């Protein structure tokens, strides 16, 4: 009886050992997290050394006002006469081209100085788009090169030379406009433009305390 039990236990151990040899091999370790197939040949890889501003140009601001407009009312007639607004200048019947640069599209509810909003200045709604432009310094009439001076003295340093007059359109009653705010409105079938010169060294904004607004001039298409 005892020998039969020993024989049965030996057979069971032998069967167990033979089963271990049939076990499937362990799977190979998975690849590290984030590793993937290389990019297809010919496809450029992203270069983190290239700054974002060098990868794509910023979108260009779209013009809100463009074209030729007739003065509407005595104030605009006396100040400028007819005007023509292009992407880079405002020209008027009274005065030469005024070089400008479009710097922002703001809203009527935005402030051009503390507590003063474009909506109140230009008589428009809070959501009305407003085109803001910077005015470039104008060339002066009779400007000369340094070689035109007397006895080798440049003319701009000659105290006897009268101050040259600027020739741009008079958007402000006194002094020159440093910025221009423009809006285009539809009154029935008529397109109306309102234009306001702004004076000051700061860019018009809520904290620009030195900005002062000139009178609003009005024009109509035609």
Give the per-residue SS3 of the chain.
CHHHHHHHHHHHHHHHHHHHCCCCCCCCCCCCCCCCCCCCCCCCCCCCCCCHHHHCCCCCCCCCCCEEEEECCHHHHHHCCCEEECCCEEEECCCCCEEEEEEEEEECCCEEECCEEHHHHHCCCCCCEEEEEEECCCCCCCCCCHHHCECCECHHHCCCCCCCCCCCCCCCCCCCCCEEEEEEEEECCEEEEEEEEEECCCCCCCCCCCCEEEEEEEEEEC
Tens digits of residue pLDDT in 104-114: 999 999 999 99
Q: How confident is the model at residue 146, as a pLDDT?
A: 44
Mean pLDDT of 32-42: 52
Q: How confident is the model at residue 178, as a pLDDT?
A: 95
What is this structure's pTM?
0.63
- Which of the two residues, 213 and 38, has the higher pLDDT score? 213
Backbone φ and ψ for 11, nearest 5 degrees, come out as: -65, -35
Q: How confident is the model at residue 8, as a pLDDT?
A: 57
- Which of the two residues, 57 and 75, has the higher pLDDT score? 75
Structure tokens at 11: 């057979």
Q: How confident is the model at residue 60 (pLDDT cuts 50, 70, 90)?
A: low
Task: Identify the top-confidence range among 36-40, 47-51, 60-64, 156-160.
Answer: 60-64
Mean pLDDT of 76-93: 92
Tens digits of residue pLDDT in 159-211: 555 544 555 678 898 888 999 999 999 988 899 999 999 999 999 999 999 99
Q: How confident is the model at residue 163, as a pLDDT?
A: 47
Answer whether 155's CB lies under 8 Å from 140's CB.
Answer: no
What is the chain's mean pLDDT, rounded?
Answer: 76
Backbone φ and ψ for 21, nearest 5 degrees, come out as: -70, -20
Q: Residue 85 pLDDT > 80, yes or no?
A: yes
Mean pLDDT of 64-76: 93
């Amino acid at each position: 009886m005892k020998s039969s039990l020993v024989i049965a236990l030996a057979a069971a151990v032998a069967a167990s050992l033979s089963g271990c040899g049939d076990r499937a091999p362990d799977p190979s370790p998975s690849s590290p997290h984030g590793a993937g197939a290389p990019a297809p040949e010919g496809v450029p890889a992203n270069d983190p050394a290239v700054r974002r501003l060098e990868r794509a140009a910023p979108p260009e601001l779209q013009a809100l006002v463009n074209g030729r407009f007739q003065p509407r009312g005595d104030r605009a007639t006396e100040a400028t006469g007819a005007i023509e607004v292009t992407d880079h200048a405002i020209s008027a019947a009274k005065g030469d081209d005024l070089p400008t640069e479009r710097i922002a599209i703001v809203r009527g509810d935005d402030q051009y100085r503390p507590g003063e909003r474009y909506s109140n200045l230009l008589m428009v709604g809070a959501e009305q788009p407003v085109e803001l432009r910077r005015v470039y310094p104008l060339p002066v009439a009779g400007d000369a090169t340094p070689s035109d001076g007397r006895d080798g003295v440049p003319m701009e340093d000659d105290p006897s030379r009268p101050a040259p007059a600027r020739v741009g359109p008079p958007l402000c009653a006194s002094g020159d406009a440093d910025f221009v705010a423009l809006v285009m409105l539809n009154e029935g079938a008529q397109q109306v433009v309102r234009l306001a010169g702004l004076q000051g060294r700061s860019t018009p904004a809520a904290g620009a305390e030195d900005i002062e607004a000139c009178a609003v001039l009005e024009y109509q298409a035609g």
